[in-house]
Amino acid sequence: MEGVQVEATGGIILTAKARQMALTPKTITISPEWKLESEDIISELTLLRKRVGALESLKDSREIDGEIYSELLESQKTGYMDKVKLATALVNSMRSRLAEITGQITSLTRYLVNAKLDHKSGELDEDSLKLAQGSIEPSLRPLIAEKNDLTLSIKVVEQVLPSKVSIN
């Protein structure tokens, strides 16, 4: 199975790849693709850094020949630079999604505040306020959770990205 479609809160149909899904007896959790990609990038960059460090250690202890060291270092450097480019593109994509979600949260929050204001001023009755809250709040909660998750994930990916790349 490559993927499925799931009906989310509010009747929205989500299409998800199998790797994005986690099933328990009571819930289905779908992780956004950016989340999985960020975890993969973090893991790969961390591993590549460890490999370069191990290679340096082997060179320093003279366990490998200089020519082999140079070949291996070049291949590790190329792989590392490719992953840095992917990670940078991912962070940019995540920032774009964060801006989109922030805009949605602002719009929904503004609508909810206006409904409460209309209720307080007598323009909106109790039932209409409850209807507005009932339609907005279920959409707001997952957006806020994704915003928080995105913000944290961006910070974590940026921590494994080099501020300056230099591999001898």
What average pLDDT does range 29-51 have in this prediction?
90
Residue spans of the domains in the chain: they are 1-31, 32-160
Residue 95 neighbours by CB under 8 Å, 6+ apart:
154
Q: Which of 1-5, 144-148, 153-157 has the lowest mean pLDDT?
A: 1-5
User: Would you state the pLDDT for residue 10?
Assistant: 66
The three-state secondary structure class of 6 is: strand
Residue 28 has pLDDT above 70, yes or no: yes
User: Would you state the pLDDT for residue 118?
Assistant: 94
Task: Give phi and psi for 122, each to the nearest 5.
Answer: 90, 5
Q: How much is the mean pLDDT over the chain?
A: 89
Q: How confident is the model over 145-154, as pLDDT tens digits?
A: 999 999 999 9
User: Would you state the pLDDT for residue 66?
Assistant: 87
Buried b (16+ CB within 10 A) or exposed e, 2-23: eeeeeeeeeeeeeebeeebeee
User: Would you state the pLDDT for residue 164?
Assistant: 60
Percent share of the chain, pLDDT over 70: 95
Res. 108 pLDDT band, cuts 50 70 90:
very high
Q: How confident is the model over 42-84, as pLDDT tens digits?
A: 999 999 889 888 999 998 998 988 899 899 989 888 888 899 9
Q: Which string of DSSP letters, residue by residue, matches 33-69? A: HHHHHHHHHHHHHHHHHHHHHHHHHHHHTT-S-HHHH
- Residue 56 to residues 13, 18, 53, 63, 65, Cα–Cα distance (Å): 50, 39, 5, 10, 12
Length of the chain: 168
Res. 9 pLDDT band, cuts 50 70 90:
low
For the beta carbon of residue 97, count every other beta carbon within 10 angstroms. Answer: 16
